Amino acid sequence: MKPTSELLKESQEQLSQTELAIKDLEKMLGLMNKRFDELNGMVIGLGQVLTLEERKRDDDRKREEQRLRLEEEHLDKFEHDRRLD
């Protein structure tokens, strides 16, 4: 059986190693959290870009529909006026 002082020394070394491992894990966790925040920011940015593109596409579609409607109304009026002549 080992003497108490040797067991105490081994326990202190193990505790020291455990504390170092915990500090390393905390550091890694901090880096992972930072990276997660960066990625989250990128995802939010991409979502905003997609939303803007979607709105632009909808606006373009609405403008095209309005242009076609006006063109159709103009043609209808033209044909109506032509019939009256």
d(C-alpha 21, C-alpha 29), whole Å = 12
> In the prediction, which pLDDT does 76 show?
87
Looking at residue 24, its pLDDT comes to 98
Q: CA angle at residue 75 from 69 to 76, to 5 degrees?
A: 85
Q: Token digits for 46?
A: 């991409």
Chunked into runs of 10 residues, the chain (85 residues) has average pLDDT values of 92 98 98 98 98 97 96 89 77
Query: What amino acid occupies position 8?
Result: L
User: Which pTM value belongs to this model?
Assistant: 0.57
End-to-end CA distance of the chain: give it in Å, rounded. Answer: 121
